[in-house]
Amino acid sequence: MTLPDLQAVSLTSAWGDWDIGNFTAIDLIAAATNAFNAALISRRPDHWKRYTVVGIILLAVIGGLAGGISRDVLLNDIPAPLVNPWYIILSLAAGGLALMIAYYPGQRLREGLF
């Protein structure tokens, strides 16, 4: 392989597009916020359905990705969360952070804020 071939191979990824542009950064913030909100709402006492940790994380991922996917489908575009892995990573992280706030001493803080 020549040097240009090696550079072309190193810049592409088989796992998706890892680039973060201006609009993508705003969209990632929105996805993480929606995932965080979905996980916190599933832990509220009035929504208590005895969800396990896996169920709460799954609700967080669905809540974080559903808005972007539905927007892109309506715009007849490839859904960005299915191409860029940062959406799933940040949704999982936001769900984990919401679980930590819900389970640990942040319970009083969470109920005071919401």
Domain assignment of residue 8, yes or no:
no
Domain assignment of residue 21, yes or no:
no
Say if CB 38 and CB 64 are below 8 A apart.
yes
Domain assignment of residue 106, yes or no:
yes
Identify the pLDDT of residue 13.
57
Domain assignment of residue 75, yes or no:
yes
Domain assignment of residue 74, yes or no:
yes
Of the candidates 43, 65, 44, the residue with the CA atom closest to the CA atom of residue 52: 43
Identify the pLDDT of residue 9.
46
Angstrom distances, CA of residue 30 to CA of 6, 11, 24, 49: 36, 27, 10, 26
Identify the pLDDT of residue 7.
46
Domain assignment of residue 108, yes or no:
yes
Domain assignment of residue 92, yes or no:
yes
| Predicted confidence pLDDT, tens digits, the chain (114 residues) | 554 544 444 445 555 666 677 788 889 999 999 999 999 888 776 666 778 889 889 999 999 999 889 999 999 999 988 888 899 999 999 999 988 886 665 566 656 666
Domain assignment of residue 67, yes or no:
yes
Burial class of residue 41, CB neighbours in 10 A (0-12, 13-18, 19+)? middle
Q: How many domains does the structure of the chain reveal? A: 1
| pTM for this predicted structure | 0.73
Full residue range of the structural domain in which residue 46 is found: 34-113
